[in-house]
């Protein structure tokens, strides 16, 4: 009987543990953490390659930078969830967040967010002062400029939010080369310009949710046609940026340009789309693949410099 009770308890503990882990990963927005770490590592890797230094000789910098970046991004994401506890219940796609379901208390979320950010900054400052300062800038841009200030007030909130999303590759680069070079700012610009069409596509899919929460996203305030025009303009602005990374070679320039052309064609097709939400989903998926392929290709081409 006692063994039976023990087995029964174990059976209940495993789903509970699984649910806790799932909620924790949702709280820190693990998908955003992972995608941003790709850009952090790319900045780090290119800085090593461009300065003719080998990462195996400086593994401490790599570890400090990756762990530090992961923690400040996770902490900032948790803080965003803490700030949005009043509006998330109004959005269908966010009702499962642990801050909405009550799985995590607001005080615990706040404490976790602050702890992650502080520990992450210690790691980043251990890599370089510049990396630590840029880390602080990224946190302030996301938590203060975006989450607390612009998100609920201005239709340009997505552009403001793009600042924080463009800082991770700078952090990676600054950990190796604190002065930052043209390549570092090229990565910043690529990430900054990539984000509006990426998030506008998501905003189109969730227009009614943002409307219900009274969030002034571009599709809510200006409509789909205006949003499509803006997305097209941002995609066009990506075209010259690969040429700032000429050191990666002709192969990279060709690949990046083909990716840009593909996105441009898809953006233009949006004006004749019969199903706007289906087109927006396609744009969103393309943008994710675009970012992943582009940054992974930078890492690969840098090996052959």
92-112 pLDDT, tens digit each:
888 888 889 888 999 999 999
* Residue-level length of the chain: 305
Portion of the chain with pLDDT greater than 70, in percent? 94
Q: DSSP for 41-75?
A: HHHHHHHHHHTT--GGGGHHHHHHHHHHHHHHHHH
Given a cut of 80, whether residue 8 has pLDDT beyond it is: no
Q: Is the dihedral of CA 200, 204, 209, 213 positive or negative?
A: positive
State the chain's mean pLDDT as an integer: 92
Fold category of 8-303 in CATH: Farnesyl Diphosphate Synthase (1.10.600)
CA distance 78 to 106: 10
Instruction: In whole angstroms, give the CA distance from residue 31 to residue 198.
Output: 15
Tokens 């793009």 belong to which residue? 162
Q: What is the pLDDT of residue 16?
A: 54
81 burial type by CB count under 10 A (0-12 exposed, 13-18 middle, 19+ buried): buried
Residue 150, Cβ neighbours under 10 Å: how many?
A: 18
| pTM for this model (two decimals) | 0.91
The angle at the Cα of 265, spanning 262 to 267, to the nearest 5 degrees, equals 110
**pLDDT tens digit sequence for 26-58:** 999 999 999 999 999 999 999 999 998 888 889
pLDDT of residue 10: 38
Q: State the pLDDT at residue 20.
A: 86
With cut-offs at 50, 70 and 90, classify the pLDDT of residue 254: very high
- In this structure, the dihedral spanned by the alpha carbons of residues 263, 138, 178 and 119, taken in order and rounded to 10 degrees, is -130
The pLDDT value given to residue 14: 47
As to burial, measured by CB atoms within 10 angstroms (0-12 exposed, 13-18 middle, 19+ buried), residue 240 is exposed
In 3D space, the residue among 135, 173, 170 whose CA is nearest the CA of residue 45 turns out to be 173
Question: What does the domain layout of the chain look like in residue ranges?
Answer: 8-303
pLDDT recorded at residue 53: 87
What residues contact 174, with CB distance under 8 A and at least 6 apart? 43, 128, 130, 131, 134, 180, 184
Q: What is the pLDDT of residues 114-150, one digit of tens each?
A: 999 999 999 999 999 999 999 999 999 999 999 999 9
SS3 223: coil
């Amino acid at each position: 009987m006692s063994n039976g009770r023990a087995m029964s308890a174990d059976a209940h503990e495993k789903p509970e543990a699984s649910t806790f882990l799932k909620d924790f990963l949702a709280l820190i927005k693990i998908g955003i953490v992972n995608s941003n770490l790709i850009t952090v590592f790319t900045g780090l890797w290119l800085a090593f390659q461009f300065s003719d230094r080998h990462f195996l000789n400086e593994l401490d910098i790599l570890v400090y930078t990756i762990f530090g970046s992961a923690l400040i991004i996770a902490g900032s994401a948790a803080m965003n969830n803490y700030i949005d506890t009043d509006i998330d219940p109004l959005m269908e796609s966010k009702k499962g967040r642990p801050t909405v379901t009550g799985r995590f208390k607001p005080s615990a979320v706040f404490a976790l967010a602050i702890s992650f950010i502080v520990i992450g900054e210690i790691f980043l400052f251990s890599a370089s002062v510049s990396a630590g300062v840029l880390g602080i800038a990224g946190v302030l841009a996301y938590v203060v400029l975006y989450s607390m200030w612009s998100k609920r007030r201005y239709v340009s909130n997505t552009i403001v939010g793009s600042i924080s999303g463009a800082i991770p590759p700078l952090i990676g680069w600054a950990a190796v080369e604190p002065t930052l070079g043209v390549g570092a700012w090229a990565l910043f610009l690529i990430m900054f310009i990539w984000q509006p069409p990426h998030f506008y596509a998501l905003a189109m899919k969730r227009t009614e949710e943002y409307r219900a929460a009274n969030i002034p996203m571009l599709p809510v305030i200006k409509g789909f046609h205006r949003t499509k025009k803006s997305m097209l303009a941002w995609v066009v602005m990506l075209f010259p940026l690969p040429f700032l990374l000429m050191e990666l070679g002709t192969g990279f320039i060709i690949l990046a340009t083909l990716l840009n052309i593909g996105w441009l064609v898809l953006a233009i097709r949006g004006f004749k789309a019969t199903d706007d939400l289906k087109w927006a989903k396609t744009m969103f998926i393309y943008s994710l693949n675009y970012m992943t392929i582009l940054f992974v290709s930078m890492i690969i081409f840098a090996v052959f410099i």
